[in-house]
Amino acid sequence: MNKADIGLIGLAVMGENLVMNMESKGFTVAVYNRSVDKVSKFTAGRAKGKNIIGTYSIEELVAQLKVPRKVMIMVKAGQPVDDFIEKLIPVLDKGDIIIDGGNAHFPDTIRRTKYVEDHGLLFIGTGVSGGEEGALKGPSIMPGGSPAAWPAVKPIFQAISAKVEDGTPCCDWVGANGAGHFVKMVHNGIEYGLMAAYAEGFNLLRHANDGDSARAVDAETAPLRHPEHFRYDFKLDEIAELWRRGSVIGSWLLDLGARALAENPGLDGFAGRVADSGEGRWTIQAAVDAGVPAPVLSAALYGRFASRDRDDFANRLLSALRRQFGGHQEPTVEGGAHATQHPA
């Protein structure tokens, strides 16, 4: 087998799917994983019979690559990326390229670009968007880093990326140093806001039949002014299908929401505790540092905090304050709602 056009480290689902995508576009790919049993499993399974070379050490991976060597790292952001950079630097030659395709914080990418360039190599930090399906069928790719690295990587990245209707690739150079991961960070912050907007909208639709339910006047709720206005029993999966086909709020995220609601209309089994993986916080911190207002993105992030009961003590203090100033008796942890004495 000929030498590989690119090497990839990290055979989790995203890494595997990117490899399969690259191979399907005519590229030969060498692969390595820290747990080498994954290499054997992959090459004997999905990659069997394809132009994919399994390797079992960093040295073997590098030896299988065409010059200039291009190695893409697809591992968890943070120290694991630095660890692999340290392993790669001694076995690569001047002008070879290291690519970080994970969700790195852009200041880390600025640091890594300088560090790798100081060792005579080139570095690309790239955002990859589209999830597992996008990695396989065509993601949006946002590369930045060492400008001199782009001509060697461009043919591969633009071949595997998503395409608009006229064939234009959803991939182009966005800038030097940490630019690629800065763009991906803001992308993920926007994603937080979009997801929160969909969630709030569908939640309102779900409660559009509250007029058919008895709603007590207590410390928790005000009465519906016009209960006859809230007697709609919407099928949320059907509404999602209406919106995703030609609507101005149609999107891939809405497509995923429609699929989830069709499979499980009540979303049974989901606890509603929403994690934040870091990019949302980084986006808000960048907005603060730049003095740029981002109230929607901030609210989406804080909503995730609240979903994990991070507002529990604050809500209890609000209850205590209402009791202090207005005598409002709210339900205790044992239950037992009492009538509200004064409006608030």
Asked if the structure places residue 325 within a domain, the reply is no
Q: Are strands 52-54 and 29-32 parallel, antiparallel or unpaired?
A: parallel
Query: Would you say residue 329 has pLDDT above 50?
Result: yes
Band of the pLDDT at 56, cuts 50, 70, 90? very high
Q: What is the Cα Rg of the chain in Å?
A: 25
Share of the chain above pLDDT 90, in %: 76
Q: How far apart are CA 93 and CA 104, in angstroms?
A: 24
Asked if the structure places residue 315 within a domain, the reply is no
Please check whether residues 172 and 219 belong to one and the same domain.
no
Q: Is the domain of 131 the same as that of 36?
A: yes
Same domain for 96 and 194, yes or no, is no
Residue 220 has pLDDT above 80, yes or no: no
The answer to whether residues 32 and 7 touch, using CB atoms and an 8 Å cutoff, is yes
What SS3 state is found at 245? coil
pLDDT per residue over 89-122, tens digit each? 999 999 999 999 999 999 999 999 999 999 999 9
- How far apart are the C-alpha atoms of 176 and 53, rounded to whole Å? 31
Across the chain, mean pLDDT equals 91
Residues 21, 137 within the same domain: yes
**Which pLDDT belongs to residue 222?**
65
**Last residue of one domain, picked from the residues 176, 197, 217:** 176
What pLDDT is attached to residue 226?
81
146 lies in the same domain as 204: no
Q: Establish if 113 belongs to a structural domain.
A: yes
Contact 30, 7 (CB under 8 A): yes
Q: Is residue 111 part of a domain?
A: yes
**Whether 72 contacts 85, CB under 8 Å:** no
Task: State in Å, rounded, how far the first CA of the chain is from the last one.
Answer: 76
- 19 and 164 in a single domain? The answer is yes
pLDDT band of residue 336 (cuts 50, 70, 90) is very low
User: Where does the pLDDT of residue 210 fall: very low under 50, low under 70, confident under 90, or very high at 90 and above?
Assistant: confident
Tell me the residue range of the domain where 247 lies. Answer: 185-310
Q: What is the mean pLDDT of residues 309-325?
A: 81
**Would 215 be classed as within a structural domain?**
yes
172 with 195, same domain: the answer is no
Q: Which of 38, 184, 279, 330 is catalytic?
A: 184
Confidence check: pLDDT of 215 > 80: no
Note the helical H segments in 207-294: 236-244, 252-263, 279-290
Q: In this model, does residue 311 exceed pLDDT 90?
A: no
Q: Is 50 labeled as catalytic in the residue annotation? A: no
The answer as to whether 328 is a domain residue is no
Contact 162, 138 (CB under 8 A): yes
Together in a domain, 286 and 256: yes
Task: Indicate if the pLDDT at residue 239 is higher than 80.
Answer: yes
Residue 342 has pLDDT above 60, yes or no: no
Which of 176, 201, 225 terminates a domain? The answer is 176
pLDDT beyond 90 at 318: no
Q: What percentage of the chain reaches a pLDDT higher than 70?
A: 91
Examine the pLDDT at 221 and tell me if it is beyond 70: no
Quick one: how many helices (H) and strands (E) in the chain? 13, 8
Quote the CA–CA distance of 182 and 115 in Å, as a whole number.
18
Q: Which residues of 157-170 are buried (b: 16+ CB within 10 A; e: fewer)?
A: bbbbbbeeeeeebb
The token pair at 338 is 């009492």
Per-residue pLDDT at 276:
85
- Total Cβ atoms within 10 A of residue 218: 16
| Among 60, 117, 191, 241, the one annotated catalytic | 191
202: domain CATH number is 1.10.1040.10
39/96 same-domain check: yes
Structure tokens at 199: 């969630």
Residue at 341 is within a domain: no
Residue 126 shares a structural domain with residue 16: yes
Amino acid at 142: M
Tokens of 291: 């003095």
Give the chain's domain count. 2
pLDDT of 340 strictly over 60? no
- Give the integer Cα–Cα distance in Å for 83 and 79: 6
Instruction: From 148, 176, 204, give the residue that closes a domain.
Output: 176
Q: Which of 4-8, 181-185, 214-218, 268-272 has the lowest mean pLDDT?
A: 214-218
For 95, phi then psi, to 5°, come to: 90, -10
Do residues 133 and 210 both lie within one domain? Answer: no
* Residue 300 pLDDT exceeds 70: yes
337 band by pLDDT with thresholds 50, 70 and 90: very low
Question: For residues 216 and 338, what is the distance between their CA atoms, to the nearest angstrom?
Answer: 11
Say whether both 80 and 125 belong to one domain: yes
342 lies in some domain:
no
CATH of the domain at 79: 3.40.50.720
CA atoms within 13 A on the CB side of 277: 12
The runs of H, that is alpha helices, within the chain are 13-24, 37-44, 58-63, 79-88, 106-118, 131-137, 150-160, 179-206, 236-244, 252-263, 279-290, 295-307, 312-326
Mean pLDDT of 251-261: 94
* Pick from 105, 328, 106: nearest CA to 218: 328
Active site annotation includes 238: no
Q: Is the pLDDT of residue 3 over 70?
A: yes
pTM of the model: 0.88
